[in-house]
Chains A and B, each alone.
Chain A
Amino acid sequence: MQAIEQKPRSLKNVSVNLRGLTILIADPGNFMRRVIYGMLRGFGANRILEAADAADVLSALMQQKIDILILDAKLPPHNGLAVTQAIRRNTDNENRTLPILIMTSDAQQSTVKEARDAGANMVVAKPMSPTTLYDRLVWIAFDRRQFIDCPTYFGPDRRFKIEGYPTGVGRRASDRIEVAAATEPNLEQDDIDSLFQAARAGQSE
Chain B
Amino acid sequence: MTAKTPPNVRIFSVKTRFQELAQRPGGVPRELAIQQAESQIADIKPEFIGWVDHELQQLTQALRKATDRNVDNAALDEIQFRARQLRDTGTTMGFVLITFIADNLCRVIDTVKNGAPYDGEVVDCHVDALNLARQDAYRSLGPDDVPEMTRGLHRMLERANRSIPGRAG
**Contact at A21–B38, with CB atoms within 8 Å?**
no
**Chain B positions within 8 Å of A189 at CB level:** none
Q: Does A165 sit at the interface, judged by CB under 8 A? A: no
Q: Does A171 sit at the interface, judged by CB under 8 A? A: no
What class of interface size applies to chain B in its complex with A? 35 or more
Chain B nearest CB from A29 CB (Å) reads 4
**Chain A positions within 8 Å of B15 at CB level:** 1-4
The docked-state distance in angstroms from the alpha carbon of A129 to that of B34 is 9
Chain A nearest CB from B121 CB (Å) reads 18
**Contact at A178–B143, with CB atoms within 8 Å?**
yes
Chain B nearest CB from A61 CB (Å) reads 14
**Contact at A67–B18, with CB atoms within 8 Å?**
yes
Q: Using CB atoms, name the residue of chain B closest to A137.
A: B22
Q: A39-B37, A67-B18 are in contact. Are A74 and B154 (CB under 8 A)?
A: no
The docked-state distance in angstroms from the alpha carbon of A180 to that of B14 is 41
Q: Which of B20-66 contact A (CB under 8 A)?
A: 21-30, 33-41, 43-44, 48, 51
User: Max chain A CB contacts within 10 Å: which of B34, B81, B96?
Assistant: B34
Q: Does A35 sit at the interface, judged by CB under 8 A? A: yes
**Contact at B28–A15, with CB atoms within 8 Å?**
yes
Chain B, residues 101-142, CB within 8 Å of chain A (1/0): the string is 001101100000000000000000000000000000000001
The docked-state distance in angstroms from the alpha carbon of A3 to that of B35 is 33
Q: A146-B11, A179-B103 are in contact. Are A17 and B30 (CB under 8 A)?
A: no
Q: Which of A117-137 contact B (CB under 8 A)?
A: 126-131, 133-134, 137
Q: Using CB atoms, name the residue of chain B closest to A151.
A: B8
- What total of A-B pairs shows CB separation below 8 Å? 196
**Chain A positions within 8 Å of B33 at CB level:** 15, 42-44, 130, 134
The docked-state distance in angstroms from the alpha carbon of A29 to that of B90 is 13
**Contact at B37–A134, with CB atoms within 8 Å?**
yes
Q: Does A28 sit at the interface, judged by CB under 8 A? A: yes
**Chain A positions within 8 Å of B158 at CB level:** 181
- Please name the 5 residue pairs, one residue from A and one from B, whose CB atoms are nearest each other, closest first: A42-B37, A17-B27, A38-B40, A42-B36, A130-B37
Which residue numbers of A lie inside 8 Å of B, CB to CB?
1-5, 12-21, 28-29, 31-32, 34-35, 38-44, 65, 67-68, 74, 97-99, 105, 126-131, 133-134, 137-138, 140-144, 146-151, 157, 177-183, 201-202
Which residue numbers of B lie inside 8 Å of A, CB to CB?
1, 3, 6, 8-19, 21-30, 33-41, 43-44, 48, 51, 81, 84-85, 87-93, 96, 99-100, 103-104, 106-107, 142-144, 153-154, 157-158, 161
Other contacts beyond A134-B37, A147-B13, A180-B103: 12, CB < 8 A: A5-B23, A13-B30, A19-B27, A42-B35, A127-B90, A138-B30, A140-B19, A146-B14, A149-B11, A151-B8, A178-B142, A180-B154
24 contacts between A and B (CB under 8 A): A3-B15, A4-B14, A12-B30, A15-B30, A18-B22, A18-B28, A21-B17, A29-B88, A29-B89, A31-B85, A41-B40, A42-B35, A43-B28, A43-B37, A98-B16, A98-B18, A127-B87, A127-B89, A130-B34, A130-B38, A147-B14, A149-B9, A183-B161, A201-B1
